[in-house]
Amino acid sequence: METELLSMAAKAIVTMADPMRLMYLALGVIVGLSLGVIPGLGGIVGMALLLPFTFTLDSYSAFALLLGMGSVTTTSDTIPAVLFGVPGTAGSAATILDGHPLAKKGQAGRAFGAAYTASLIGGVFGALLLAVSIPILRPVMLAIGSPELLALAIFGLAMVAALSAGAPMRGLAIAGFGVMIALIGSDPQTSTQRWTMGTLYLWDKLPLVPVTLGLFALPELADMAIGRRSIAGSAKIDARSGQWQGVKDTFRNWWLVIRVAWLGATLGAIPGIGAAVIDWIAYGHAARTEKGAAETFGTGDIRGVIASEGANNAKEGGALVPTIAFGVPGSASMAILLGAFLIHGLQPGPAMLTKNLDVTYSIIWSVALANILGAGICFAFSNQFAKVALLRHSVIMPVILTVIMVGAYQGSRNWGDLFALVLFGALGWAMKRLGWPRPPLILGFILGAIVERYLFISVARYDWEWLTNWPVIVLFAISLWGFVRPFLREIKVAGGVKSLATGYLPIARINMNTMFYCALMVLIGVMITEALPWKENAKLVPVMAGVFTLGVLGISFLNATFRYGAAAGPGDPVQSRRMDLSADDDGLAKGIVAKRALSFLAWLLAFLAFISVIGMLPTILIFIAAYMWVEGREKWRLILPVAVGVMIFSYILFDQLLSLPWPRTVLGNTWPVLREIIPSL
């Protein structure tokens, strides 16, 4: 058996050494790197884009093209995450927390070097795991059922304490709110419309892309506009030496890289646990296990970049395990890859481990080679990427905002995506300013629907007997400790239960945080009230999540508002220890900050208004030109090439290649009517 495996592996690498197949692999890598840089796009878009081009290729070339693309989108998505605080894909959101602060310090090259090296190691590790694990893990994968998947999802939610650092109660509360947001839409059990507010857009739940970009991207652009400076400010960038420093940082933390790569590859092999969850779990693991991480993560700790990037590339190899061995896609992009198997006459399952073993190993080699080539290309051009951090805000801000708008619209290709982007952008900016950690919100949003789905499947199939399964018991016990730990910390900080019950101020401490608490509690109270008349299965999880969230919010509110020495908001110790980016206004007066924030909001609303009237492409041209002229007084010889160039790029990529149906406009709706009226006049 071992001889056969080695001979098939050797045959596969000889097959993949063909120059034409290597060319297809390189083409896929270039496409994947390009898509990873653009917020809102990613592996699933790339798979859908390239799949038609594989119909006439042999199976080796087809999978080289597709996997070359899919393996490296989570390598290049580091670039916008580090430079702009904008996740290129959902799998790079955690990279922002330490990568972007490093860019602000002029150490973007160091962050790139560490990220690319960790991505390379993680990607190759995932491919090796795929190579050795398919025959071994087959019985293990078959033994994993809905109860185990439920326990894993709840374990993921328990990571919020690690992602909240100095504000664990706020983290728990906002994670619960994220779970409630995840349950918006048509209930799959009873078809009950949950919190849809009568809009068709919310029937199919909120898409992940506009929510993620709103929470993490728009607040960074708003702060860039408020500060009116480049990303790196006055800091100098030395990408070459910094890049080498990042490589050395990665090998210095080799044990962390191995751990998160193993974690990413293992979780990637579990269907339903996608990249948007894996990087947060890996980041939370590093935050809990690395020495001194609680004080430095979120402020520019290179280990935070390594943890996120090492895990999200490794998950690609893991996601291929159930796809190849069982025909069960490990992720959304793997579902499209499954279609490629069928197109080329390959049946996922035992046949891929016997008569088609050479194809299986060619897939493994494709993943490994793609990660090596992708990291090499990124290393070669990282110096140019890093210099983007020195561009003036009036040049880079409108370009990135335009890309974010179009990327968010990819969520469900609906006007609601743009409204959701702005709404969650405002929420994310408020949370950032007031010291509320944002990672728990996105983690709760991703895992909320997964928890509900596997809960009902487990009860329907096994009644409540699944609670006695030892893997479920172990994971629940670990998760329980994660949820209880913030409460124990509150008691410890207060000096014991007695001090916690008595150490309150007679007068409330009123500030903006108080208003945020009150608004959130009112909103959750209204949501619970609306949920009570629903059918039993439809309201069970929403009401449980709502009551839990309201209870934690109440305790946190009392401590923040009435306790002696409680954190009052930005500037206090809680703010500095939370695992999130913090606002830096360089000493600007509050009035100036508020004025510039309102100005940014006005630009944002004007963007939406122009889209509704004249369409996306003309708005891109007008918006970029107007912003560069009004905010930066840039020269027209710079304004015109930038504005026209971005519009042409958007037209070619989104209109011609991706066939994106642009938002309907007022002119588009009225023109047919006018065309009929004018001749009659």
**What string of H, E and C letters represents the secondary structure of 333-397?**
HHHHHHHHHHHCCCCCCHHHHCCCHHHHHHHHHHHHHHHHHHHHHHHHHHHHHHHHHHCCHHHHH
pLDDT band at 609, cuts 50/70/90? very high
Across-strand partners of 186?
193
Q: Is residue 602 part of a domain?
A: no
Instruction: State the pLDDT at residue 574.
Output: 41
Same domain assignment for residues 632 and 572: no
Q: Is residue 139 part of a domain?
A: yes
pLDDT band at 350, cuts 50/70/90? low
Instruction: State the pLDDT at residue 499.
Output: 61
Percent of the chain with pLDDT over 70: 78
Q: Is 228 exposed, middle or buried (0-12, 13-18, 19+ CB in 10 A)?
A: middle
Q: Is residue 12 part of a domain?
A: yes
Dist. CA 362–CA 17, nearest whole Å: 10
Dist. CA 303–CA 292, nearest whole Å: 11
Q: How far apart are the first and last CA of the chain?
A: 84
Q: What is the pLDDT of residues 54-80, one digit of tens each?
A: 777 888 888 888 888 877 877 777 888
Residues 93, 442 contacting (CB under 8 angstroms): yes
Residues 6+ apart with CB under 8 A from 32: 43, 46, 68, 69, 70, 71, 72, 73, 75, 76, 370, 374
Instruction: State the pLDDT at residue 643.
Output: 93
Q: What is the pLDDT of residues 466-523, one digit of tens each?
A: 888 888 888 888 888 877 877 777 666 656 666 655 656 666 677 888 899 999 999 9
Task: Look at 255-259, 342-346, 586-590, 666-670 and tell me which has the smallest mean pLDDT.
Answer: 666-670
Instruction: State the pLDDT at residue 422.
Output: 93
Instruction: State the pLDDT at residue 237.
Output: 58
Dist. CA 1–CA 82, nearest whole Å: 46
Residues 6+ apart with CB under 8 A from 156: 273, 277, 280, 281, 443, 447
Q: Is residue 601 part of a domain?
A: no
Percent of the chain with pLDDT over 90: 15
Range(s) of the domain holding residue 414: 2-230+238-577
Closest listed residue to residue 275, CA positions, set 73, 134, 420: 73
Q: What is the pLDDT of residues 417-437, one digit of tens each?
A: 999 999 999 999 999 888 888
Instruction: State the pLDDT at residue 82.
Output: 84
DSSP 404-466: HHHHHHTTTSSHHHHHHHHHHHHHHHHHHHHT--SHHHHHHHHHHHHHHHHHHHHHHHHTTGG
Whole-Å CA distances, 455 to 144, 153, 535, 546? 14, 10, 16, 17
Same domain assignment for residues 269 and 359: yes
> Where is 185: in which H helix or E strand?
strand 185-186
Same domain assignment for residues 650 and 549: no
Task: Look at 17-21, 103-107, 310-314, 326-330 and tell me which has the smallest mean pLDDT.
Answer: 326-330
What is the tally of structural domains in the chain?
2
Across residues 238-255, what is the average pLDDT?
Answer: 82
Q: What is the pLDDT of residues 564-579, one digit of tens each?
A: 454 444 434 344 445 5
pLDDT band at 381, cuts 50/70/90? confident
CB atoms < 10 A from the CB of 415, how many? Answer: 15
Q: Is residue 476 part of a domain?
A: yes
Residues 271, 328 contacting (CB under 8 angstroms): yes
Same domain assignment for residues 63 and 113: yes
Residues 232, 100 contacting (CB under 8 angstroms): no
Same domain assignment for residues 568 and 620: no
Same domain assignment for residues 337 and 455: yes
Across residues 224-231, what is the average pLDDT?
Answer: 76
pLDDT at 666 over 90: no
Across residues 113-120, what is the average pLDDT?
Answer: 88
Residues 6+ apart with CB under 8 A from 256: 286, 290, 303, 306, 307, 310
Same domain assignment for residues 248 and 311: yes
DSSP 56: T
Its pTM surpasses 0.85: no
Q: Is residue 636 part of a domain?
A: yes
Using the 3D structure, point to which of 532, 562, 577 is the last residue of a domain.
Answer: 577
Dist. CA 678–CA 681, nearest whole Å: 5
Instruction: State the pLDDT at residue 675.
Output: 52
Amino acid occupying residue 261: A
Across residues 378-386, what is the average pLDDT?
Answer: 74
More confident residue, 316 or 115: 115
Q: Is 197 exposed, middle or buried (0-12, 13-18, 19+ CB in 10 A)?
A: exposed
Q: What is the pLDDT of residues 251-271, one digit of tens each?
A: 999 899 888 888 888 787 776
Q: Is residue 585 part of a domain?
A: no
Across residues 150-157, what is the average pLDDT?
Answer: 80
Same domain assignment for residues 33 and 123: yes
Dist. CA 313–CA 310, nearest whole Å: 6
Instruction: State the pLDDT at residue 190.
Output: 86
Same domain assignment for residues 531 and 643: no
Closest listed residue to residue 121, CA positions, set 216, 251, 22: 251
Q: Is residue 442 part of a domain?
A: yes
pLDDT at 238 over 60: no
Q: What is the pLDDT of residues 530-563, one digit of tens each?
A: 999 999 889 999 999 999 999 989 888 887 777 6
Using the 3D structure, point to which of 523, 551, 577 is the last residue of a domain.
Answer: 577
CB atoms < 10 A from the CB of 608, how many? Answer: 17
More confident residue, 457 or 665: 457
Same domain assignment for residues 556 and 640: no
CB atoms < 10 A from the CB of 433, how many? Answer: 22
Across-strand partners of 194?
185
Residues 314, 261 contacting (CB under 8 angstroms): yes
Across residues 10-15, what is the average pLDDT?
Answer: 77
Phi and psi at residue 667, in whole multiples of 5°? -65, -40
* Pair of tokens at residue 458: 């487990």
Instruction: State the pLDDT at residue 681.
Output: 47
DSSP 665: -
Instruction: State the pLDDT at residue 353.
Output: 67
What does the buried/exposed string (b/e) look like for 477-513 if buried means 16 or more CB atoms within 10 Å of the residue's CB?
eebeebbeebeeebeeebeeeeebeebeeeeebeeeb
More confident residue, 101 or 508: 101
DSSP 467: G
Q: For the chain, what is the mean pLDDT?
A: 79
Across residues 30-34, what is the average pLDDT?
Answer: 82
Same domain assignment for residues 533 and 666: no
Across residues 136-163, what is the average pLDDT?
Answer: 71
Across-strand partners of 504?
563
Using the 3D structure, point to which of 528, 555, 577 is the last residue of a domain.
Answer: 577
Instruction: Give one word for 258, left, alpha or beta, with left for phi > 0 and alpha for psi -120 to 50.
Output: alpha
pLDDT at 111 over 80: yes
Same domain assignment for residues 291 and 436: yes
Instruction: State the pLDDT at residue 679.
Output: 56
Instruction: State the pLDDT at residue 547.
Output: 94
pLDDT band at 404, cuts 50/70/90? confident
* Pair of tokens at residue 203: 């029937």
